C-alpha cells in the first residue's frame, strides 16, 4: 500500500502580525485519516496547504515520511499528493476519463495503463465507466463531479491525500453516501489522508484521529474520536463537540462491542412446560421463541406458558427489534426505547439468533470509558 507519515513540527504561519497557524505539532501515522476541524478562520486550510507547499510556513517544518518537504522538488512533491477541494477544479473542457488521467499522464504512464486505472477508479467510486467516461463535468450531477474529483486525486495512488471540505457543497443525502464510499475506498487503498471540515459530526465519522483547532490557529486537542468525546481537553473542545457528545459516542460503538446475554430461548415444537421451567429458573419474565433454523420469532410471557401443548408461533406476545453486529449503539438504543420488551435481539447475517442486548448492557458498554490516551507526539 502507498502511504506515508505526515508530521507538523512546530509549524507557524503569519500573515502580517496575525498568526494564521501557531506552533502546530502533530503526527499523522501512515494510513490514518486525520481530520482537521474547527470554526471558520482557525487555520485549517492554511495547515493543509503547507503540506503541498501552496503555502510556505513562516517557521517550523513539515515532514513526509521523515523528510522535510522544503528539500523535495515541489513538482515531485505535488505529484505524490492528491488534492481535493470543493467544487473545483475538474477541467471543464476535458472528459471524465481525461480528468482522471491527469497525473498518470504527467507521470508518463502508457495509455493502456491509464485507461485501465481510470476504469478501475470509476468502478470503485460507483460510476458506470460506459456511462460517464466520455462526459464533460457540466454533464454530471454535483455528487458525481465530487466523486470524479476524488478519483482524479487518487489516480496515481499518491501516498498522501489532502481533502479540503470535499463534500461541503452537496446535499446531506449525497454527502452521507460520498462519506461512506470514501471510507470504503480508503479501506482498500490505505492512503494517508488529511481531511478538513468545519462539521464535528463529519470529523467524528471520518477521522481515525481528529485535530480540533481553535480561533487564532491553535491546536486544542488531537485524539481519536472516541477519546475526544469521552475526554474533551478543554471547555472549548467540550462546547465544540456539543452537548450531545454522549449520543455521538454511542454512534461510534457497535453491537459487536457489547457483551450479549444468552437470554432464555425456546424452540417451536418444544413442550410449553419445559420452557416455563427454564424461565422460572432464570427468573425471566419473557422467553424468546426461535424457529427450527434458529431465527427469532418473538417473545412469550412466562406466565402464559401454562398450557400443555407444544409451542407454536401463535404463542408469541411481543416482538422486538432485530439488530446486527454492525448496528451502532445509537440506533440500537433508539430501537430499544420504542420496543415493549426493551431488549434487542441480535442475529447474524443469516438471521440466526446470537443473543440479546439489554439497556443495562448498553449502559455498561457506554460507561466503560476508553482510557485517556495521548495522541503520538512528534
Ligand atoms: N493569503 C492570505 N492572506 C492573508 N490572510 C490570510 C490568507 N489566507 C488565510 N488568511 C487568514 O488566516 C486565517 C486562517 O485562514 P484559513 O486557514 O483559510 O482558515 P479555515 O480554513 O480554518 O477557515 C484567517 O484569519 C484568514 O483570514
Ligand atoms: Mg478553509
pLDDT tens-digit map of 22-37: 999 999 999 999 999 9
Which residues are within 8 A (CB) of 185 and not within 5 positions of it... i.e. 6 or more apart? 124, 125, 150, 154
As a whole number of angstroms, the distance between CA 255 and CA 326 comes to 6
| Percent of residues, the chain, with pLDDT higher than 90 | 63
For the chain, the farthest-separated pair of C-alpha atoms sits apart, in whole angstroms, at 88
Helix spans in 8-110 (H): 44-49, 74-79, 96-100, 102-106
Q: Is the pLDDT of residue 109 over 80?
A: yes
Q: How many CB atoms neighbour CB 299 within 10 A?
A: 24
Confidence band (pLDDT; 50, 70, 90) for 45? very high
Q: How far is CA 50 from the centre of its chain?
A: 25
Question: Ligand 1 centroid to 122 CA: how many Å?
Answer: 34
Average pLDDT taken over every residue of the chain: 90
List, for residues 224-235, the tens digit of each pLDDT value.
999 999 899 999
What is the per-residue pLDDT for 321?
Answer: 86
Treating both helix axes as pointing N-terminal to C-terminal, what angle do 172-189 and 142-154 enclose, rounded to 10 degrees? 20
Confidence band (pLDDT; 50, 70, 90) for 89? confident
Which residues are within 8 A (CB) of 75 and not within 5 positions of it... i.e. 6 or more apart? none
Which residues are within 8 A (CB) of 178 and not within 5 positions of it... i.e. 6 or more apart? 143, 146, 147, 150, 166, 167, 170
With the C-alpha atoms ordered 274, 277, 282, 284, is the resulting torsion angle positive or negative? Answer: positive
Question: Ligand 1 centroid to 342 CA: how many Å?
Answer: 51
As a whole number of angstroms, the distance between CA 375 and CA 378 comes to 9
Confidence band (pLDDT; 50, 70, 90) for 223? very high
Provide the Cα torsion 333, 335, 336, 341; round to 10°. Answer: -170
Q: Which residues line ligand 1 (CB under 6 A)?
A: 15, 20, 38, 40-46
Q: Is the pLDDT of residue 160 over 90?
A: yes
What is the per-residue pLDDT for 372?
Answer: 47
Q: Is the pLDDT of residue 1 over 70?
A: no
Q: Which ligand is nearest to the CA of 36?
A: 1
Measured from the Cα of 47, ligand 1's closest atom is 17
What is the per-residue pLDDT for 87?
Answer: 66
Mean pLDDT of 308-323: 89
Best probe residue, ligand 1, of 43, 86, 211, 215 (max atoms within 8 Å of C-beta): 43
Number of H helices, E strands in the chain: 15, 16
What is the per-residue pLDDT for 370?
Answer: 56
Q: Is the pLDDT of residue 377 over 60?
A: no
Domain boundaries in the chain? 6-252, 256-365
Mean pLDDT of 253-281: 92
Q: What class, spelled out in words, does domain 256-365 have in CATH?
A: alpha beta
Contact 301, 311 (CB under 8 A): no
Residues measured by CB to lie within 5 Å of ligand 2, the ion: 45
Question: Ligand 1 centroid to 78 CA: how many Å?
Answer: 21
As a whole number of angstroms, the distance between CA 102 and CA 116 comes to 14
Q: Is the pLDDT of residue 376 over 60?
A: no
Mean pLDDT of 162-186: 86
C-alpha cell at 362: 448498553
Q: How many CB atoms neighbour CB 269 within 10 A?
A: 10
User: What's domain 6-252's architecture?
Assistant: 3-Layer(aba) Sandwich (3.40)
Task: Write the DSSP string, 250-266.
Answer: HTT-BGGGSPPB---EE
List, for residues 202-212, the tens digit of each pLDDT value.
999 999 999 99
Amino acid at each position: 500500500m502507498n502511504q506515508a507519515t505526515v508530521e507538523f513540527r512546530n509549524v507557524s504561519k503569519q500573515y502580517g502580525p496575525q498568526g494564521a497557524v501557531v506552533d502546530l505539532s502533530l503526527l499523522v501515522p501512515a494510513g490514518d485519516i486525520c481530520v482537521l476541524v474547527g470554526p471558520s478562520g482557525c487555520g485549517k486550510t492554511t495547515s493543509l496547504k503547507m503540506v503541498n507547499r501552496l503555502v510556505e510556513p513562516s517557521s517550523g517544518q513539515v515532514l513526509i515520511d521523515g523528510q522535510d518537504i522544503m528539500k523535495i522538488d515541489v513538482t515531485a512533491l505535488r505529484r505524490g499528493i492528491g488534492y481535493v477541494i470543493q467544487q473545483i477544479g475538474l477541467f471543464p473542457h476535458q472528459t471524465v476519463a481525461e480528468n482522471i488521467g491527469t497525473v498518470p499522464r504527467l507521470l508518463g504512464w502508457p495509455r493502456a495503463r491509464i485507461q485501465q486505472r481510470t476504469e478501475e477508479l470509476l468502478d470503485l467510486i460507483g460510476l458506470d465507466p460506459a456511462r460517464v467516461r466520455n462526459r464533460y463535468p457540466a454533464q454530471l450531477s454535483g455528487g458525481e463531479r465530487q466523486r470524479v474529483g476524488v478519483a482524479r486525486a487518487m489516480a496515481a495512488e499518491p501516498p498522501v491525500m489532502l481533502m479540503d471540505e470535499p463534500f461541503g457543497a452537496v446535499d446531506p443525502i449525497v454527502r452521507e453516501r460520498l462519506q461512506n464510499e470514501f471510507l470504503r475506498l480508503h479501506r482498500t487503498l490505505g492512503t494517508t489522508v488529511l481531511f478538513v471540515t468545519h462539521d464535528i459530526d463529519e470529523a467524528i465519522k471520518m477521522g481515525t484521529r481528529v485535530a480540533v483547532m481553535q480561533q487564532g490557529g491553535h491546536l486544542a486537542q488531537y485524539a481519536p474520536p472516541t477519546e475526544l468525546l469521552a475526554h474533551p481537553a478543554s471547555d472549548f473542545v467540550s462546547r465544540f463537540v456539543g452537548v450531545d457528545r454522549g449520543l455521538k459516542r454511542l454512534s461510534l460503538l457497535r453491537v459487536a462491542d457489547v457483551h450479549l446475554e444468552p437470554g432464555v430461548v425456546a424452540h417451536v415444537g418444544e413442550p410449553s412446560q419445559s420452557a416455563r421451567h427454564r424461565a422460572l429458573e432464570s427468573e425471566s419474565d419473557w422467553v424468546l421463541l426461535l424457529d427450527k433454523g434458529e431465527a427469532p420469532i418473538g417473545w412469550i410471557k412466562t406466565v402464559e406458558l401454562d398450557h400443555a401443548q407444544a409451542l407454536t408461533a401463535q404463542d408469541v406476545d411481543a416482538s422486538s427489534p432485530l439488530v446486527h453486529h454492525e448496528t451502532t449503539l445509537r440506533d440500537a438504543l433508539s430501537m430499544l426505547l420504542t420496543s415493549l420488551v426493551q431488549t434487542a435481539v441480535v442475529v447474524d447475517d443469516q438471521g440466526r439468533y446470537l443473543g440479546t442486548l439489554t439497556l443495562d448492557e448498553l449502559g455498561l458498554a457506554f460507561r466503560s470509558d476508553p482510557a485517556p490516551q495521548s495522541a503520538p507526539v512528534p
